[in-house]
Every structure is written in structure tokens, then in C-alpha cells.
Amino acid sequence: MTTQQQVWFITGSSRGFGRALVEAALEAGHRVVATARRPQQLDDLVATYGERVAPVALDVTDASAARTAIDEAVARFGRIDVVVNNAGYANVAPIETSDEADFRAQFETNFWGVFNVTRAAIPQLRAQGGGLVIQFSSVGGRVGGSPGIASYQAAKFAVDGFTRVLAVETAPFGIRTMVVEPSGFATDWAGSSMQVHDIPDEYQQTVGAMNSRMRQTGSRPAGDPKRAAEIIVRAAARQNVPSHLLVGVNAVEMSIAYSKRQLAEAEAWRQVSRSADFAEPYPAEQPADVAV
């Protein structure tokens, strides 16, 4: 058991990363409020861990339900030390032909669900003198550009921007934040929970190819959710947590390469960009227009 027992509040606990995190936190000696749309899916955890785990029904798109779930957590364990916004899903379709209702529904869970739970938790965290908010994003929420999952990736970018502001606003209250950015892991994210809508012939080389890589190859994703969950639980026990935690080889290598490209582009356009201010020399010569 850890030297300091924490109370974790985890959304999307029935499977995938959420389930792995519930188990890792419990194995580390913590207490967990495990939320899911159907909390009976967590009965086996109650049988194993007893009163240290409290299953709670929660649809994260319902703001009032989020407030109720936070209240239930505090009533059960007296406080909340770590809030994990993990619930989320992605469906596949090109932007041009995507169904607007489906696009919005994904955003409701992937962004507004994070907003609802975070907003419901802040008063409790502030009143008790602090806590940690962990937001699940994706390496795609940093690098972007994955054909077919525009709603999901747009939401993950929004979660990152939202959390950067949250971190600054709530730091005086002792509230800390950590954005988790995984690459591909052996969960059901690209399995039965993902709907693939019609992909027109014109998008087979982009959306179709991406869908094949995600769902139709014989090999499993490289990431082990059990290892990742244990890493996150250990990181959450630190005094100084990373603002962004990459998990998985592809997440690390893709992010480093992306940051290098960003920096190189900013340097190449530095004088042109600076020239927009009154005090700077104008016009500035643009960099050579060569194909990349």
C-alpha cells in the first residue's frame, strides 16, 4: 500500500484505459469511485476490493449527473484527490460526408463530458485545498492530422486548451492538472465501440487507409494499458506532475518530430511574422517557396 491513500474519481471505468486505471489505483492501495453508464459492469471489482471501490452511474454528457456523482463520491469517501476524465470514443467518417449529429454527439462526450465533470469537481477540490485533474487526450490531440476522426481529434485539442486555462485559474487553490497523451493501446477504442461510416472512393487513400491501419490489421497496438495505468498512478503520487504525459513509443517519437517541425517552421517565418508589428521592418522577405 502507498504511504498516502488517495481517493480517485474515474470516468469511463467499465473497460479500456478506465478499467485499467481503476485496477491500478486499487492495487496501489487507493480508494476509487468508478463511474460508468452501467455500473453493474463493475460488480467483479466490488467482489474483489470491497468497500474501497464505489461504482457510480454517470453519463458525462449530463451536467447535473456529473454534479450528483461528485456529491456521491464525497459522501462515500469524504474527499476526492484525483479526478480522471477518461470517457470518450471515436467514430470514423470523412469531414465532407460525416453526419453532423454524430459529429456533435462525439464532441458532447469527448469535450463537454470533460467540461461537465471538471466543472462539477472544482468546488470540492478548491474547498479541500487541492487535488489533481487528469485529462485523457491523445497523441492526436498534440500532433493531429489523423484522417477520419476529426470530431475526436478536435475535441482532444479543445481538452488541451481548456486544461491549460484550468491549470492557471486553479493553481492558487492547490489544484494541479495533467494531460495524458497515449498512442495506440490494446483497448477496445478502435474495436466494437467505434462505428465506421461509409467511406467514399475519393477518401479511400486517406480515411480508408487510416481505418485499415487502426482496425483491420492482424497485429495489436503496441501499448499495454496495464503498464500505462500503473505509470499514471505512480505519476499522480508525485509532488510535481508533468503538465503533459506521453505514453507509448509512437506518442513520444511522433511528438518530438512534430515539435521539431513546428520550431523549424517558426524559425523560417520569423522575420515575416515579426514584420506585422508597427515597430518592425516591413515588408520582410518570405522564405524560399520550395516543395516539401
Q: Which residues are catalytic?
A: 137, 152, 156
Q: What is the residue whose three cell numbers read 492538472?
A: 177
Q: Tell me the C-alpha distance between 151 and 99, whole Å.
A: 11
Q: Tell me the C-alpha distance between 53 and 282, whole Å.
A: 64
Q: Tell me the C-alpha distance between 103 and 125, whole Å.
A: 32
Q: Tell me the C-alpha distance between 131 and 266, whole Å.
A: 36
Residues found in the chain: 292
Label residues 42-69 b or e (16+ Cβ within 10 Å = b): beebbeebeebbbbbebbbbeeebbbeb
Please name the residue ranges forming H helices in the chain.
16-27, 43-49, 63-77, 100-107, 113-128, 150-170, 209-215, 225-236, 249-268, 270-274
